[in-house]
Amino acid sequence: MNFNNRNNGKNISIRRILIGFSFILIVLCVILVNIYYLQVINFKEYTIQAKKNYVKLIPIEPSRGTIYDCNGIALAINRNSYKIQFILKKIHDLNKTFLNLSKIFDLTDSDFKNLKKELIKGFNVIDIPLGSQVNITKLAKFTANKHLFPGVRIKKYQIRYYPFGKTLSHIIGYISNINNKDINNLTKIKKRDNYLGTKNIGKLGIEAYYEDVLHGNIGYRKIKINSRGYKLRELRKKPPISGNDIYLTIDLKLQQYIEKIVANKGRIAVIASNPKTGAILAMVSIPSFNANLFVKGISNKDYNILLKDKNFPLYNRVIQAIYPPASTVKPYMALTALNAGIISSDTTIFDPGWWKLPGSKKYYRDWKKSGHGYLDVIKSIEESSDTFFYQVSYNMGIDYINEWMTKFGFGKHTGIDLFQENIGNMPTRKWKVDNFQKPWYKGDTVPIGIGQGYWTSTPLQMNKALMTLINNGIVKIPHILHFITDINSNILYNKPFTKNAITSNSKYWNIVKYGMYGVANHVNGTAYHNFANAPYKVAAKSGTAQVFGLKKSEIYNSYKIQENLRDHKLMNAYAPYDKPRIAVTIIMENSNNNHKIGLVMRKILDYYLINKSK
């Protein structure tokens, strides 16, 4: 009995040992399998994760490209600026630190309040801008006493600056803080990674249109950090690639001159171009705004002032505002009628001062109440007869007019390298049905002949049409980019800007251009008094766009009419007539009779062809 108990106890002990050993063996196998899994199977993955714990990539923002005018004058530059960086976890007494810093730098109570606001938000690192006026003495004093300011660093960075303020703001545009909309867009086009560490992006104008060219490519610093996140050493550095510089077709001096002579003359748009290339020489939209306000983020106060201004300074009138093109289109209408065979160079129409719509009692008045008498196509352009073009447009019909005016670029984007361009309206039968649920009547076509009615256009479209006429139908794409250069000043980009051509008899082009020549050089021409004594020959065409209609017995007087109901004054001109070097379009919005558009045009042409040459 005792012997059996002894054997049973021994067997139980052996079983327990085996079970324990088996358990240990299983655990050991599990450990070995996990070690194999960690060290062999997932070695690369965990190595990368481990490195992330002590290796940090810090993006380096590239230097943005400079924007120049055609003569190499810098229009948008980067200026060095400075900021104080507070690393809060290293600062024991923030109040004392700020007070001591104030003895070196010109810090204000407002700066301290902003610091407190950021502190409440829970930020660990807070920046206070010092601006670009920090002198070497102050920086040296801070460096000498740096031991007194643990957790405080002075950091240098670049800030965009527009040295000419309001001049060219609508063209150059501006950069400003990247917002959520920008981030979403960059993510969508798979460019978000190239903006890590970048705070600003082009928002308007050339800054926005050529963002990819100007921005450059980010670099980075790979640093080793300890468990507390402090830098131990730099492992690698990849320098950023600076953005490319852009040279514009804009002539700053011409731009400034135009702005000077149109100052205090109300809301104005001026576009000057080289008709042989389509290059924009000047683009003036008055009033304007200072782009520097937006760079650091415009204040609510300043932004509301701009938004509430009844003259809309943020509005680029050259590409966004639309006006009836008025009598400036009469040369194009004449060419269209000649091409259609509606008229010939010998066609004569009698102008009694009015035109009556056949089959109705509707009369359309000429601007000259007594009429122009007998007119051929050249004289009708010279004297800007409305009656002649009422008849011509009625005979052609809206379909043929629309076909040809769209060839001149009306109702379409011009191709300008700026966003936010308005296309205006070149009306069609379908357009009227869609917008008014009414058919197109023959009477709707009549005012189209003098650039009124449902027809609207931007100043840039008017200028493009003028260039097309000058070039006998060869369409030049208006553009602001001259060329792009890299860091070694190599020209990278300069695309051709000729598109297609309007086919018509060369004789017809010469007829209508001679009509414009007569406007400026023949005694009966509507702009003869402005250009007759010019030392060069001009071709021109003026126009008056009515904002509202007068009654038959009423006489127009700009001083007695509410400002927003006054007529717009328009003028197209190019010179020299035989070898054009400049084409100009001017719009004076709701202008009064004191502002002489012909005089402004003459001054611009004189400056460019005479004074500038000297």
Residues belonging to the active site: 327
Tokens of 49: 């994760």
Are the beta carbons of 606 and 584 closer than 8 angstroms?
A: no
Which of 613, 524, 523, 614 is closest to 575 using CA atoms? 613
List, in sequence order, every residue forming a beta bridge with 125; answer none if it has no partner: 87
β-strand pairing of 152-161 with 363-365: unpaired
Q: Is the dihedral of CA 434, 439, 443, 449 positive or negative?
A: positive
The b-or-e profile of 103-132 (16+ CB within 10 A means b, else e) is ebbebeeebbeebeebeeeeeeebbbebee
- Please identify which residue in the block is written with the tokens 């980067």: 78
- Please choose, from the candidates 567, 333, 327, 321, the residue with its C-alpha nearest in 3D space to the C-alpha of residue 423: 321
Residue 130 to residue 104: CA distance in whole angstroms = 12
Task: Give the tokens for residue 201.
Answer: 């992006």
DSSP 383-421: TT-HHHHHHHHHHH-HHHHHHHHHHTTTTS----S-SS-
Q: Which residue has the tokens 């415009």?
A: 298
* 66 contact partners, CB below 8 Å, separation of at least 6: 74, 76, 77, 78, 245, 246
Residue with tokens 């042409």: 605
Of residues 271, 275, 268, the one with CA closest to residue 254: 271
Q: What is the spatial distance between Cα 171 and Cα 451, in angstroms, rounded to a whole number?
A: 28
Pick from 262, 424, 394: which is nearest to 333 by CA? 394
Joined tokens for residue 29: 């196998």
Pairwise CA distance, residues 449 & 451, whole Å? 6
Q: Are β-strands 174-177 and 55-60 bridged in parallel, bridged antiparallel, or unpaired?
A: unpaired
The H or E element containing residue 324 is none
